[in-house]
Amino acid sequence: MMKLIMSAAMVLVVATGCMGPSTGGLEVILKEGEKQAIVRIDDSSFAKRIVVEETIARRSNTGFLGATVKVRNRFDRDFPIQYRFEWFDGDGMEIQSGGRPWEQTILHGGAAAMLSATASDKRGVRFVVRLRRVE
């Protein structure tokens, strides 16, 4: 059974072209215990197609932080995307740097998808999920 730590239905949207490495799409950032996720937009045309509807962080009974991000395709045509979760400890250091590959899914027209992952280390307290279009 999972213990609900935090659910953020609200997101703060930040448009930027110069904050750190670009995903070519958008990033969703949430720290355990925070009530509001940050969505950083690197590609405004990508962000017009995708809306982040919900962000949830849960710590399991075994101590691992899990994350689920609900995204929706705003358009009526299929839209293939790639995404990757990254995990950070309390000091802001990445856990298992470069250890997760990009995953691919197709957001069907008007449909939502739940993107989920679990930290590989119990020290995880923050996650970033990076989304980009499939080229």
Look-up of token digits 């919900």? 54
Q: Are 81 and 104 in contact (CB under 8 A)?
A: yes
Q: What is the 3-state composition of the chain as percent helix, strand, coil, each rounded to the nearest 5?
A: 5, 55, 40
CATH of the domain at 30: 2.60.40.3230
Domain count, the chain: 1
- What percent of the chain is predicted at pLDDT more than 70? 81
Residue 28 CA to residue 131 CA, distance in Å, equals 8
Residue 18 CA to residue 15 CA, distance in Å, equals 9
Number of C-alpha atoms within 13 angstroms, CB side, residue 67?
28
Task: Please give the model's pTM, rounded to 2 decimal places.
Answer: 0.81
> Domain range holding 66?
2-133
What confidence tens digit (pLDDT) does each residue in 68-97 have?
Answer: 999 999 999 999 999 999 999 999 999 977
